[in-house]
Amino acid sequence: MAVLIYHLKIMASMMIVFLILLWTTDSVQPNTPQAAVQVFPPVNFTLTVSALAQVLLHWKPNPNQEQKNYTIRYDVKILSPVPEEYDTKKTHSIRTAALHNGFSAHIRTLLLHNDLLMTSDWVKEKLPPLPGAPETSVTNLSCVTRITISSTVSLHCTWLPGQGAPEDTKYFLFYRYETYTEECQDYIKDKWNRNTECRFSVTQIDPEEVDNLVVIHINGSSKYAAIKPFQQLFNQNAIEKVNVPRNVTVFLEQNDLLATWEKPISPFPKECFEYEFYLFNLKSGNKQILKISSNDFRLQIDVTSRYSIQIRANHHICCTRGFWSDWSEVIYVGQNKLENPVAWILAVLCVFTCCTFLLVAIICKINQVWSKLFPPIPTPSNKFRDPFPNDYEVK
Protein backbone atom coordinates (compact mmCIF):
# COMPACT_ATOMS: atom_id res chain seq x y z
CA MET A 1 0.00 0.00 0.00
CA ALA A 2 2.78 2.39 0.88
CA VAL A 3 4.49 1.57 -2.39
CA LEU A 4 1.31 2.42 -4.30
CA ILE A 5 0.96 5.76 -2.54
CA TYR A 6 4.59 6.51 -3.31
CA HIS A 7 4.08 5.88 -7.06
CA LEU A 8 0.98 8.00 -7.09
CA LYS A 9 2.87 10.91 -5.58
CA ILE A 10 5.57 10.60 -8.20
CA MET A 11 3.02 10.61 -11.01
CA ALA A 12 1.29 13.66 -9.53
CA SER A 13 4.58 15.53 -9.34
CA MET A 14 5.37 14.71 -12.97
CA MET A 15 1.93 15.93 -14.06
CA ILE A 16 2.42 19.24 -12.25
CA VAL A 17 5.79 19.73 -13.94
CA PHE A 18 4.28 19.00 -17.36
CA LEU A 19 1.48 21.53 -16.83
CA ILE A 20 3.98 24.19 -15.71
CA LEU A 21 6.10 23.61 -18.84
CA LEU A 22 3.06 23.73 -21.11
CA TRP A 23 1.86 26.99 -19.52
CA THR A 24 5.30 28.51 -19.86
CA THR A 25 5.56 27.55 -23.53
CA ASP A 26 2.15 29.06 -24.34
CA SER A 27 2.95 32.25 -22.47
CA VAL A 28 6.16 32.93 -24.36
CA GLN A 29 4.94 31.81 -27.87
CA PRO A 30 4.00 34.84 -29.99
CA ASN A 31 0.56 35.07 -31.57
CA THR A 32 0.36 33.30 -34.96
CA PRO A 33 -1.71 34.45 -37.93
CA GLN A 34 -4.10 31.54 -37.36
CA ALA A 35 -4.91 32.84 -33.94
CA ALA A 36 -4.91 36.49 -34.95
CA VAL A 37 -6.75 36.28 -38.30
CA GLN A 38 -10.09 34.72 -39.03
CA VAL A 39 -10.88 33.85 -42.64
CA PHE A 40 -14.49 34.44 -43.69
CA PRO A 41 -16.13 32.91 -46.78
CA PRO A 42 -17.39 35.09 -49.66
CA VAL A 43 -20.95 36.37 -49.62
CA ASN A 44 -23.71 36.79 -52.21
CA PHE A 45 -22.45 33.90 -54.33
CA THR A 46 -24.72 33.57 -57.42
CA LEU A 47 -24.84 31.58 -60.67
CA THR A 48 -26.43 33.25 -63.69
CA VAL A 49 -26.94 31.87 -67.21
CA SER A 50 -25.50 34.67 -69.35
CA ALA A 51 -25.65 32.93 -72.80
CA LEU A 52 -26.19 29.52 -74.33
CA ALA A 53 -24.17 27.07 -72.22
CA GLN A 54 -22.49 29.92 -70.35
CA VAL A 55 -22.58 30.63 -66.61
CA LEU A 56 -21.52 33.77 -64.76
CA LEU A 57 -20.21 33.04 -61.26
CA HIS A 58 -20.31 36.16 -59.07
CA TRP A 59 -19.58 36.82 -55.38
CA LYS A 60 -18.48 39.57 -53.00
CA PRO A 61 -15.79 39.68 -50.32
CA ASN A 62 -17.01 39.12 -46.81
CA PRO A 63 -17.40 42.57 -45.16
CA ASN A 64 -16.05 41.13 -41.91
CA GLN A 65 -12.77 40.13 -43.51
CA GLU A 66 -9.82 42.24 -42.36
CA GLN A 67 -8.04 44.02 -45.23
CA LYS A 68 -4.54 44.42 -43.74
CA ASN A 69 -1.36 43.33 -45.48
CA TYR A 70 -3.00 40.14 -46.60
CA THR A 71 -3.20 38.60 -50.07
CA ILE A 72 -6.76 37.48 -50.69
CA ARG A 73 -7.75 35.16 -53.54
CA TYR A 74 -10.67 32.83 -54.15
CA ASP A 75 -10.63 29.11 -54.72
CA VAL A 76 -13.34 28.03 -57.21
CA LYS A 77 -14.33 24.41 -57.65
CA ILE A 78 -16.74 23.35 -60.43
CA LEU A 79 -18.44 20.10 -59.44
CA SER A 80 -20.64 19.45 -62.49
CA PRO A 81 -21.08 18.92 -65.36
CA VAL A 82 -17.26 18.79 -65.75
CA PRO A 83 -15.07 18.92 -62.60
CA GLU A 84 -12.61 21.82 -62.56
CA GLU A 85 -10.72 23.75 -59.88
CA TYR A 86 -8.87 27.05 -60.15
CA ASP A 87 -8.17 30.20 -58.12
CA THR A 88 -8.62 33.86 -59.00
CA LYS A 89 -8.26 37.27 -57.41
CA LYS A 90 -11.40 38.54 -59.17
CA THR A 91 -14.89 38.35 -57.72
CA HIS A 92 -16.45 36.88 -60.86
CA SER A 93 -15.77 34.13 -63.35
CA ILE A 94 -17.33 32.95 -66.61
CA ARG A 95 -17.50 29.28 -67.53
CA THR A 96 -18.80 27.54 -70.66
CA ALA A 97 -20.51 24.23 -69.97
CA ALA A 98 -23.45 22.11 -71.14
CA LEU A 99 -26.24 23.07 -68.75
CA HIS A 100 -29.06 20.66 -69.65
CA ASN A 101 -28.25 18.49 -66.60
CA GLY A 102 -27.54 21.43 -64.29
CA PHE A 103 -24.45 23.14 -62.90
CA SER A 104 -22.93 23.28 -59.40
CA ALA A 105 -19.91 25.05 -57.90
CA HIS A 106 -18.19 25.79 -54.56
CA ILE A 107 -16.10 28.81 -53.60
CA ARG A 108 -13.99 29.79 -50.60
CA THR A 109 -11.59 32.56 -49.51
CA LEU A 110 -7.84 32.04 -49.63
CA LEU A 111 -5.75 34.29 -47.35
CA LEU A 112 -1.96 34.41 -47.60
CA HIS A 113 0.05 36.08 -44.84
CA ASN A 114 3.75 35.57 -44.03
CA ASP A 115 3.89 32.59 -46.38
CA LEU A 116 1.05 30.96 -44.49
CA LEU A 117 -2.08 30.03 -46.46
CA MET A 118 -5.41 30.00 -44.64
CA THR A 119 -8.82 29.08 -46.05
CA SER A 120 -12.43 29.71 -45.18
CA ASP A 121 -15.34 27.31 -45.35
CA TRP A 122 -16.89 26.50 -48.74
CA VAL A 123 -19.92 28.36 -50.08
CA LYS A 124 -22.10 26.24 -52.39
CA GLU A 125 -24.49 27.12 -55.22
CA LYS A 126 -26.09 25.22 -58.11
CA LEU A 127 -28.37 25.56 -61.13
CA PRO A 128 -31.13 22.96 -61.61
CA PRO A 129 -31.34 20.84 -64.78
CA LEU A 130 -33.23 22.33 -67.71
CA PRO A 131 -36.92 21.32 -67.57
CA GLY A 132 -38.44 18.68 -69.84
CA ALA A 133 -39.72 15.13 -69.98
CA PRO A 134 -37.16 12.29 -69.76
CA GLU A 135 -35.79 10.82 -73.01
CA THR A 136 -37.22 13.62 -75.15
CA SER A 137 -33.85 15.28 -75.80
CA VAL A 138 -32.06 14.60 -79.05
CA THR A 139 -29.42 11.86 -79.11
CA ASN A 140 -26.35 11.04 -81.21
CA LEU A 141 -25.63 14.68 -82.01
CA SER A 142 -22.67 15.10 -84.37
CA CYS A 143 -21.42 18.18 -86.21
CA VAL A 144 -18.93 18.79 -89.02
CA THR A 145 -17.43 22.06 -90.27
CA ARG A 146 -15.72 22.80 -93.59
CA ILE A 147 -13.61 25.70 -94.76
CA THR A 148 -14.94 26.96 -98.09
CA ILE A 149 -13.02 28.46 -101.00
CA SER A 150 -14.07 31.91 -99.82
CA SER A 151 -12.44 31.19 -96.40
CA THR A 152 -15.76 30.99 -94.57
CA VAL A 153 -16.82 28.05 -92.41
CA SER A 154 -19.91 25.93 -93.02
CA LEU A 155 -21.60 23.83 -90.35
CA HIS A 156 -23.63 20.62 -90.69
CA CYS A 157 -25.21 18.84 -87.71
CA THR A 158 -27.23 15.63 -87.48
CA TRP A 159 -29.08 13.99 -84.59
CA LEU A 160 -31.70 11.40 -83.68
CA PRO A 161 -34.98 12.19 -81.91
CA GLY A 162 -35.25 11.09 -78.30
CA GLN A 163 -36.92 7.74 -77.68
CA GLY A 164 -39.59 9.42 -75.57
CA ALA A 165 -40.24 12.26 -78.02
CA PRO A 166 -43.77 12.23 -79.56
CA GLU A 167 -44.11 12.02 -83.35
CA ASP A 168 -45.19 15.66 -83.56
CA THR A 169 -41.95 16.88 -81.92
CA LYS A 170 -40.22 19.73 -83.71
CA TYR A 171 -36.57 20.35 -82.86
CA PHE A 172 -34.80 23.68 -83.28
CA LEU A 173 -31.02 24.10 -83.37
CA PHE A 174 -28.93 27.10 -82.32
CA TYR A 175 -25.17 27.50 -82.45
CA ARG A 176 -23.08 29.95 -80.44
CA TYR A 177 -19.53 30.98 -81.26
CA GLU A 178 -18.00 33.38 -78.74
CA THR A 179 -20.69 36.10 -78.40
CA TYR A 180 -22.59 35.31 -81.62
CA THR A 181 -25.72 33.12 -81.58
CA GLU A 182 -27.78 32.03 -84.59
CA GLU A 183 -30.77 29.76 -85.18
CA CYS A 184 -30.82 27.25 -88.03
CA GLN A 185 -32.99 28.06 -91.05
CA ASP A 186 -32.18 25.04 -93.24
CA TYR A 187 -33.46 21.73 -91.83
CA ILE A 188 -33.75 18.20 -93.22
CA LYS A 189 -36.68 16.16 -91.89
CA ASP A 190 -37.36 12.48 -91.21
CA LYS A 191 -40.47 10.49 -92.29
CA TRP A 192 -42.44 11.94 -89.35
CA ASN A 193 -41.57 15.46 -90.51
CA ARG A 194 -39.22 15.99 -87.54
CA ASN A 195 -36.05 18.06 -87.99
CA THR A 196 -33.03 15.73 -87.82
CA GLU A 197 -30.37 17.72 -89.71
CA CYS A 198 -29.31 21.35 -89.94
CA ARG A 199 -27.03 23.14 -92.39
CA PHE A 200 -25.36 26.54 -92.16
CA SER A 201 -23.66 27.40 -95.45
CA VAL A 202 -21.89 30.33 -93.73
CA THR A 203 -21.15 30.80 -90.02
CA GLN A 204 -19.29 33.24 -87.79
CA ILE A 205 -16.70 30.58 -86.89
CA ASP A 206 -13.22 31.99 -87.42
CA PRO A 207 -11.16 29.49 -89.46
CA GLU A 208 -7.89 30.95 -88.15
CA GLU A 209 -8.70 30.40 -84.48
CA VAL A 210 -7.30 27.35 -82.70
CA ASP A 211 -9.45 25.09 -80.54
CA ASN A 212 -12.26 27.55 -79.77
CA LEU A 213 -15.57 26.08 -78.63
CA VAL A 214 -18.70 25.80 -80.76
CA VAL A 215 -21.85 25.52 -78.60
CA ILE A 216 -24.81 23.59 -80.02
CA HIS A 217 -28.20 23.98 -78.32
CA ILE A 218 -31.26 22.01 -79.47
CA ASN A 219 -34.68 22.50 -77.90
CA GLY A 220 -38.08 21.36 -79.08
CA SER A 221 -41.82 21.59 -78.83
CA SER A 222 -44.73 19.13 -78.83
CA LYS A 223 -48.43 19.10 -78.01
CA TYR A 224 -48.03 15.99 -75.89
CA ALA A 225 -44.82 16.47 -73.87
CA ALA A 226 -42.34 19.08 -72.68
CA ILE A 227 -39.20 18.55 -74.75
CA LYS A 228 -36.00 18.70 -72.71
CA PRO A 229 -33.25 20.87 -74.29
CA PHE A 230 -29.83 19.44 -75.06
CA GLN A 231 -26.44 21.17 -75.25
CA GLN A 232 -23.06 19.98 -76.45
CA LEU A 233 -19.66 21.68 -76.83
CA PHE A 234 -17.41 20.99 -79.81
CA ASN A 235 -13.80 21.96 -80.39
CA GLN A 236 -13.91 23.82 -83.71
CA ASN A 237 -10.80 22.09 -85.10
CA ALA A 238 -11.82 18.64 -83.88
CA ILE A 239 -15.01 18.68 -85.98
CA GLU A 240 -13.45 20.17 -89.11
CA LYS A 241 -13.67 17.98 -92.19
CA VAL A 242 -10.34 18.84 -93.80
CA ASN A 243 -10.39 19.66 -97.50
CA VAL A 244 -8.82 17.39 -100.11
CA PRO A 245 -5.17 18.06 -101.09
CA ARG A 246 -4.92 20.09 -104.30
CA ASN A 247 -3.01 19.73 -107.58
CA VAL A 248 -1.87 16.18 -107.01
CA THR A 249 0.81 15.22 -109.57
CA VAL A 250 2.25 11.72 -109.96
CA PHE A 251 4.88 10.54 -112.45
CA LEU A 252 7.59 7.92 -112.88
CA GLU A 253 11.32 8.57 -112.91
CA GLN A 254 13.15 5.37 -113.85
CA ASN A 255 12.26 2.95 -111.04
CA ASP A 256 10.85 5.59 -108.69
CA LEU A 257 7.37 6.95 -108.28
CA LEU A 258 7.30 10.69 -107.52
CA ALA A 259 4.25 12.52 -106.19
CA THR A 260 3.70 16.17 -105.26
CA TRP A 261 0.64 18.10 -104.10
CA GLU A 262 -0.48 21.31 -102.41
CA LYS A 263 -1.97 21.62 -98.92
CA PRO A 264 -5.79 21.73 -98.59
CA ILE A 265 -7.70 25.00 -98.63
CA SER A 266 -7.00 26.28 -95.10
CA PRO A 267 -5.55 29.33 -93.32
CA PHE A 268 -3.02 27.07 -91.60
CA PRO A 269 0.46 26.68 -93.15
CA LYS A 270 1.52 23.47 -94.88
CA GLU A 271 3.51 22.38 -91.81
CA CYS A 272 0.21 21.87 -89.97
CA PHE A 273 -0.92 18.93 -92.11
CA GLU A 274 -0.17 15.26 -92.45
CA TYR A 275 -1.18 12.99 -95.31
CA GLU A 276 -2.06 9.39 -96.07
CA PHE A 277 -0.78 8.05 -99.39
CA TYR A 278 -2.82 5.10 -100.73
CA LEU A 279 -0.98 2.95 -103.27
CA PHE A 280 -2.68 -0.03 -104.96
CA ASN A 281 -0.81 -2.43 -107.26
CA LEU A 282 -3.36 -3.47 -109.87
CA LYS A 283 -1.14 -6.34 -111.01
CA SER A 284 -0.50 -8.04 -107.68
CA GLY A 285 -3.40 -6.64 -105.64
CA ASN A 286 -1.09 -5.34 -102.90
CA LYS A 287 -2.27 -2.25 -100.98
CA GLN A 288 -0.22 0.27 -98.99
CA ILE A 289 -1.24 3.29 -96.88
CA LEU A 290 1.77 5.43 -95.99
CA LYS A 291 1.72 8.40 -93.55
CA ILE A 292 3.60 11.44 -94.84
CA SER A 293 4.21 14.84 -93.20
CA SER A 294 5.56 16.64 -96.29
CA ASN A 295 4.06 17.70 -99.64
CA ASP A 296 6.09 15.34 -101.80
CA PHE A 297 6.91 11.69 -101.87
CA ARG A 298 9.32 9.29 -103.60
CA LEU A 299 9.00 5.50 -103.58
CA GLN A 300 10.72 2.73 -105.50
CA ILE A 301 8.16 0.56 -107.31
CA ASP A 302 7.84 -2.28 -109.81
CA VAL A 303 7.71 -0.41 -113.13
CA THR A 304 6.14 -3.42 -114.86
CA SER A 305 3.01 -2.99 -112.74
CA ARG A 306 0.20 -0.50 -112.96
CA TYR A 307 -0.76 1.48 -109.84
CA SER A 308 -3.69 3.54 -108.64
CA ILE A 309 -2.92 6.40 -106.21
CA GLN A 310 -5.02 8.56 -103.84
CA ILE A 311 -4.12 11.07 -101.11
CA ARG A 312 -6.02 12.53 -98.15
CA ALA A 313 -5.14 15.06 -95.41
CA ASN A 314 -5.69 15.94 -91.75
CA HIS A 315 -4.43 18.39 -89.12
CA HIS A 316 -1.07 17.54 -87.65
CA ILE A 317 0.55 19.72 -84.95
CA CYS A 318 -0.98 23.21 -85.12
CA CYS A 319 -4.37 22.31 -83.66
CA THR A 320 -6.55 19.43 -82.57
CA ARG A 321 -6.84 16.66 -85.14
CA GLY A 322 -10.03 16.88 -87.19
CA PHE A 323 -11.77 14.49 -89.59
CA TRP A 324 -9.69 13.08 -92.44
CA SER A 325 -10.47 14.63 -95.80
CA ASP A 326 -12.03 12.62 -98.59
CA TRP A 327 -9.62 10.76 -100.84
CA SER A 328 -8.41 12.63 -103.90
CA GLU A 329 -9.41 11.43 -107.35
CA VAL A 330 -7.72 8.23 -108.52
CA ILE A 331 -4.52 8.67 -110.54
CA TYR A 332 -3.05 5.76 -112.56
CA VAL A 333 0.62 5.25 -113.36
CA GLY A 334 2.71 2.39 -114.72
CA GLN A 335 2.55 -0.17 -117.54
CA ASN A 336 -0.57 -1.75 -119.07
CA LYS A 337 -2.54 1.40 -118.55
CA LEU A 338 -5.78 1.33 -120.53
CA GLU A 339 -5.30 4.03 -123.15
CA ASN A 340 -8.82 3.77 -124.53
CA PRO A 341 -11.36 2.29 -122.13
CA VAL A 342 -14.18 2.69 -124.69
CA ALA A 343 -12.39 0.51 -127.23
CA TRP A 344 -11.71 -2.07 -124.56
CA ILE A 345 -15.38 -2.17 -123.60
CA LEU A 346 -16.46 -2.54 -127.24
CA ALA A 347 -13.98 -5.38 -127.76
CA VAL A 348 -15.31 -7.22 -124.73
CA LEU A 349 -18.89 -6.76 -125.94
CA CYS A 350 -17.96 -8.05 -129.39
CA VAL A 351 -16.35 -11.19 -128.00
CA PHE A 352 -19.28 -11.74 -125.69
CA THR A 353 -21.77 -11.40 -128.57
CA CYS A 354 -19.87 -13.87 -130.77
CA CYS A 355 -19.69 -16.39 -127.99
CA THR A 356 -23.41 -16.01 -127.34
CA PHE A 357 -24.32 -16.64 -131.01
CA LEU A 358 -22.01 -19.66 -131.15
CA LEU A 359 -23.56 -21.12 -128.03
CA VAL A 360 -27.08 -20.62 -129.39
CA ALA A 361 -26.13 -22.31 -132.68
CA ILE A 362 -24.72 -25.34 -130.84
CA ILE A 363 -27.86 -25.66 -128.73
CA CYS A 364 -30.08 -25.40 -131.80
CA LYS A 365 -28.04 -28.04 -133.64
CA ILE A 366 -28.28 -30.45 -130.75
CA ASN A 367 -32.06 -30.07 -130.43
CA GLN A 368 -32.70 -29.95 -134.26
CA VAL A 369 -34.37 -26.60 -133.82
CA TRP A 370 -32.85 -25.28 -137.04
CA SER A 371 -34.56 -27.94 -139.23
CA LYS A 372 -37.87 -27.21 -137.54
CA LEU A 373 -37.60 -23.49 -138.05
CA PHE A 374 -36.32 -23.75 -141.63
CA PRO A 375 -37.56 -27.08 -143.18
CA PRO A 376 -36.15 -28.10 -146.67
CA ILE A 377 -38.23 -27.32 -149.81
CA PRO A 378 -39.72 -30.66 -151.15
CA THR A 379 -39.22 -31.78 -154.84
CA PRO A 380 -42.60 -31.76 -156.73
CA SER A 381 -43.89 -35.26 -157.79
CA ASN A 382 -44.87 -36.13 -161.47
CA LYS A 383 -48.65 -36.40 -161.38
CA PHE A 384 -49.13 -36.43 -165.24
CA ARG A 385 -48.06 -39.31 -167.51
CA ASP A 386 -46.24 -38.65 -170.77
CA PRO A 387 -48.87 -38.97 -173.60
CA PHE A 388 -46.21 -40.07 -176.02
CA PRO A 389 -44.01 -42.47 -174.23
CA ASN A 390 -40.99 -43.77 -176.05
CA ASP A 391 -40.91 -47.51 -176.32
CA TYR A 392 -37.56 -49.04 -176.50
CA GLU A 393 -37.02 -52.55 -177.55
CA VAL A 394 -34.08 -54.47 -176.62
CA LYS A 395 -32.81 -56.40 -179.52
Q: How confident is the model at residue 358 (pLDDT cuts 50, 70, 90)?
A: confident
Asked whether 263 and 313 are in contact (CB, 8 A), the reply is yes
Residue 355: other Cβ atoms inside 10 A = 10
User: How does pLDDT run across 171-204, given as a tens digit for each residue?
Assistant: 999 999 999 999 999 999 988 889 999 999 999 9
- pLDDT score for 164: 93
Identify the bridge partners of residue 80 per DSSP, sorted by sequence position: 104
- Least confident span in 13-22, 116-125, 227-236, 314-323: 13-22
Q: Half-sphere exposure of 353 toward its Cβ, with a 13 Å CA cutoff?
A: 6
pLDDT digits (tens, 9 = 90+) for 137-150: 999 999 999 999 99
From CA 145, how far away is CA 237, in angstroms rounded? 8
Lowest mean pLDDT across 3-7, 63-67, 83-87, 104-108: 3-7
Q: Is the pLDDT of residue 24 over 90?
A: no
Check residue 272 and report its DSSP letter: G
Judge contact between 113 and 33, C-beta under 8 A: yes
pLDDT(52) > 60: yes
Of 269-273, 342-346, 383-387, where does the model show the most confidence? Answer: 269-273
Contact 81, 102 (CB under 8 A): yes
In sequence order, the 6+-apart residues with CB closer than 8 A to the CB of 309 are 248, 250, 257, 259, 277, 278, 279, 280, 330, 331, 332, 333
Tens of pLDDT, residue by residue over 280-304, are 999 889 999 999 999 998 998 888 8
Taking only the tens place, the pLDDT of each residue in 9-21 is: 555 555 554 444 4
Percentage, residues of the chain above pLDDT 70: 80
- pTM (predicted TM-score): 0.72
Domains annotated for the chain, with CATH where assigned, are 35-127 (2.60.40.10), 139-235 (2.60.40.10), 246-334 (2.60.40.10)
Report the greatest alpha carbon distance in the chain.
193
Predicted pLDDT of residue 255: 86
Per-residue pLDDT for 34 more than 60?
no
Beta carbons within 10 angstroms of residue 209's beta carbon: 14
How far is 93 from 21, CA to CA, in rounded Å? 51
Cβ neighbours of residue 192 closer than 8 Å, sequence gap 6 or more: 167, 168
Asked whether residue 310 carries a pLDDT value surpassing 90, the answer given is: yes
